[in-house]
Structure 1
Amino acid sequence: MTASGRLRRRALLRAAAAAGATAAAGCSRAEPSVQVAVVWSGGELARFREVVAGYDAGVQVISAGNDIDAFLRARQLAGTSPDVAILPRSGLVVEYARRGWLRELTPAASYALPPGMADLLSADGRRYGVWVKAAHKSLFWYFPSMLPEPPRTWDQLVTLTRRLGARARAGDGPAPLAVGAADGWVLTDWFENVLADVAPPGFYEALAHGEADWRARPVQVALDRLAELWRVDGAFPGGGRRALLTQYEESVIQVVYHRRATMLFEADFVDDVASRFRRGPERPETFRFPGARLADKPLIVGGDAAVAFAGSARGAELARWLSGGTAFEPWLRAGGYLSPNVSVPLAGYRDAVRRRLAAELRTAEVVRFDLSDRLPGPFTGSDGVGIWRIMQDFFADVTDGVAVGEAVRRATGQLATGARSAGRGR
């Protein structure tokens, strides 16, 4: 074993020991018997605990933080895997299944999904996960008082950004766009929406499966479009370099509290932040990510999936219960939850925004699942690596004035190299 390998193994062992100590510190003989690891914290964690309080056996919920992959690898190495984990990336489900870490699952009879999601949690023809929470990732957020008429096509969005950017440079209004470019996943969400709009049928899926070239024309066109918008002078509060230091939550605050920007692109979970920080009675509204034509509206979804670890029959039972149409009713009633299960009645949604989004999941002709969440290994992206870092480099290039052709050439080369290193793609 190399020195770096020994250091990595020691780090994993330390993490496993810390995880075991954390679990032991919060558990006694009288405490819950089924253990669930989640990425959620704060309000989401509290809501999920309300959900599992309705299960007919005790459940202990552990928040593993944003890097749940590292947490679970450490627990697996230590032989202390939880019974169930809620994973934010479908690629992890497939990877863990092929490593033999997971138990095959059978969902509840009421489990029904939009097209394009059903097979993402399967490996070698067997299902190893069930979707329990969805994210609608094709939304722009704005205040009607600041933007009476939202753009309906991509060209209208670019024209509006140029007009508002000129006003912002003159000190006559807020910047057109807020973007949390310090979080690379925000930029990959932009890319995925544009790619879904411009790519020919089958290309997006082929890219996800490692069967298409990252230097192909559709990827170039998508990056060209992003460059067209992102390089607009005055597009972001403080400029592109400041945007690269702006995290996702801060970008929401720039719109809903400081009103330093007019529009924000991100998923339905924006309103979790907006509800905490907005000032005054006006609520932000949404419009769909605009496509090339009036009829084109990309629909990208993400989601969280429950898996049961090998050897845990109780974990498989809990995961099956979570896949049912009624398990998440407490969270549904409280608001802030979008179900991937299209059998859940629309009338069950408390807030009008998610009721509309749930209806869109039922009626959309084409649903694409978050591309970066499906990529293998480090290519899937995390802080400073993978597709997240590549998109941040591209954003830096186009906002710093690098010629678009050169910026696209660099990005597609990095993407192709990342795919090859992960063993998926060209």
Structure 2
Amino acid sequence: MCRPRARDVRRRTLLRGAVLAPLAGPAAGCGDLARTTGLGDFVRVAVSWSAAELAAFDRVLDRRRVDDTELVPLGDDIGAALGAATTGRPDVVALPRPGLVTGNVEKLAPLPDEVWRDAYDRVWRPELPTRRHYALPFKIAHTSVVWYRRSVFAEHGLRPPDTWRDWLELNESIIDRTGVAPLAMGGGDGWVLAGFFANVLLRHFAGSYDALLAPHDARLWTSGEVRAAFRMVADMWGRAGALSGGADRALVQQFPDAVLEVFLYHRAAMVPAPDFAESVIRQFGVLTDDVGTFTFPAGPPGAPLVISGDLLVLTAPASPAATNLIRYLSTPDAPVPWIRDTGGFIAANPSTDPRHYSPTLRRLAEDLRDNDVRFGLSDQLGRLGGREGLQRVLQDMLRDLADGTPPHTAAETAAASMVEAEERTR
């Protein structure tokens, strides 16, 4: 019988889009044919991760000591993995948004019952309402985090803010005293801006946030509280000197570069970024003692936190080998190599030993455990003017601020643009 050879399947990196490649020609060897058709015990795993995160997941797979997997990095094209033909489809897909699960259930195989834990229900069940389990929560991200350089705060007698007003005053103090900008922003990645807005809205006006996630009139975007959130964001971003390099630079800067603005180049004091910013910081040998975090300031006490997360699914029909891989990845110890060696990973499995986390990630994991949470607005697939609607509108708002538009006007334009974006997609 034709079986894949270990040296053929050990290579885990394919060109982007290879999951859609056509069937191999008749001269292909058995190993090549198995990779192309998905025959035998071979498992193809498609992910959106890249760079350090991709390498970290590769180490997670390596720990199995089984040469039967191939890793397919698709980046933002991960949705194409579920539309691939049978001859080229992956067996396991890591999806970065719950909406991608609920919108593609007919293409998925149900998971073994034993991989679901009751502890998942609090966070994930509202996003995965089907009676059968079609997705395994693997990674949860705390996205209500602001990272800051402790040395700047200590040198100038500054402290993390407790309220929004405190944060505005802190920014003024940093501008006046330190010679660096208060904030670095990776606006080239629209999800960074959407995450910032989601935090302002959820942490201050949770009722309006939840209303946007339910069926609603598109004009809700111009209601009082939502407009107030746009104004709060515009006021902070539009302050001269607030953003490292100005709004123009923030528009083209990617997420990792914004983190490095603070911790490597020392041109900013703070960067709003999810917990996985830790993996970027670690790559450049930043002293742990100089890395601090605070939670995005809130209005009412007990305001929910914003989260995101990655889920693993089986494409239908699922092979025994792919099902066994899911079983392995559901165990508490499976993500330990990522947590220990790369950082920036909080396991969705609450039984993962917290001693593997850095002190910073341990605190953030406890924060998620002890507080109410909501998924970010951009995680709501097919709503809110399309998945990228909010991101695009916020980039336009930042562009208006860069062009000198007053914050109040930029905020009003953004709110009205979201009404138009949502009406176009209905």
- Structure 2 matches for 1:130-145, cutoff 5 A? 130-145=136-151
Shift of 1:29: 6.6
Q: Contact 1:162–1:233 (CA<8 Å) still a contact in 2?
A: no
Aligned letter for 2:416?
G
Give the alignment partner of residue 218 of structure 1, picking from 225, 242, 245: 225
Corresponding residue to 2:267 among 250, 260, 270: 260
Distance (whole Å) between structure 1 residues aligned to residue 367 and residue 163 of structure 2: 18
Maintained 8 Å contact 2:333/2:352: yes
Q: Structure 1 residue 95 and structure 2 residue 103: aligned?
A: yes
Residue in 1 that maps onto 2:369: 362
Shift, 1:323, TM fit: 2.6
Equivalent position amino acid for 2:96 in 1: P
Match of 1:209 among 198, 214, 230: 214
RMSD of aligned residue pairs (Cα, Å): 2.9
| Identity level (%) | 32
Q: Which residue of 1 aligns with 2:46?
A: 37
Note the 1:241-390 alignment, pairs <5 A: 241-278=248-285, 282-292=289-299, 295=301, 298-314=304-320, 315-336=322-343, 337-347=345-355, 349-364=356-371, 366-376=372-382, 379-381=385-387, 385-390=388-393
Question: Distance in 1 between the 2:97 and 2:90 partners?
Answer: 18
What is the number of residues matched between the two proteins? 394
Distance 1:300 1:408 in 2: 22
CA distance in 2, matches of 1:210, 1:361: 27
Contact 1:131-1:304 within 8 A present in 2 as well:
yes
Aligned with 2:126 (options 109, 116, 119): 119
Instruction: Indicate the larger mover: 176-185 or 53-62.
Output: 53-62
**Cα deviations by residue, 1:256-276 (Å, 9 ceiling, x for unpaired):** 111000111101111111122
Partner of 1:62: 71
CA distance in 2, matches of 1:414, 1:151: 31
Q: CA deviation at 1:310?
A: 1.3
Return the TM-score normalized by structure 1.
Answer: 0.83
TM-score (structure 2 length as normaliser):
0.83
Q: Confirm or deny that 1:175 pairs with 2:181.
A: yes
Paired residue secondary structure (2:59) = helix
| Mapped contact 1:133–1:340 kept (Cα < 8 A) | yes
**3-state secondary structure, aligned to 1:327:** coil
Query: Which residue, out of 83, 98, 122, partners 2:91?
Result: 83
Q: What does the per-residue CA deviation read over 1:237-266, in whole Å, with 9 as the maximum and x for residues that have no partner? A: 221112112111111111111100011110
* Counterparts of 1:35 and 1:391, CA distance in 2: 36
CA gap 1:109/1:280 in 2 versus in 1, 3 angstroms = closer
Distance 1:400 1:260 in 2: 22
- Report the Cα offset of residue 398 of structure 1: 3.3
**2:408 pairs with 1:400:** no
Point out where structure 1 has 5 or more consecutive residues left out of the alignment: 1-13
Structure 1 residues 73 and 176, CA, compared in 2 at 3 Å: closer, same or farther? same
Write the mapping of 1:228-239 to structure 2, written as runs, cut at 5 A. Answer: 228-239=235-246
SS of aligned partner of 2:241: coil
Would you say the 8 A contact 1:109–1:324 is kept in 2?
Answer: no
Rounded Cα–Cα distance in structure 1 between residues aligned with 2:239 and 2:309:
32
Q: 1-side partners of 2:72 and 2:383: how far apart? A: 23
Distance in 2 between residues matched to 1:342 and 1:310, nearest whole Å: 28
User: What secondary structure does 1:312 align onto?
Assistant: coil
Q: CA deviation at 1:236?
A: 1.2
Q: CA deviation at 1:40?
A: 1.8
Which residue number corresponds to residue 175 of structure 2? 165
In 2, Cα distance between equivalents of 1:401 and 1:290? 27
Q: Is the 8 A contact 2:247 2:399 kept in 1?
A: yes
1:339 alignment partner AA: A
- Which segment drifts farther, 332-341 or 88-97? 332-341
Counterparts in 2 of 1:163 and 1:21: CA distance versus 1, 3 Å: farther
| CA–CA separation in structure 1 for the residues paired with 2:256 and 2:55 | 19
Task: Select the residue among 391, 394, 399 that pairs with 1:391.
Answer: 394
Quick check: 1:326–1:344 contact (8 Å CA) kept in 2? yes
- Give CA-to-partner distance per residue, 1:392-421, whole Å, 9 cap, x none: 011222343323443233212222232233
What secondary structure does 1:117 align onto?
helix
The letter for the 2-side match of 1:154 is W
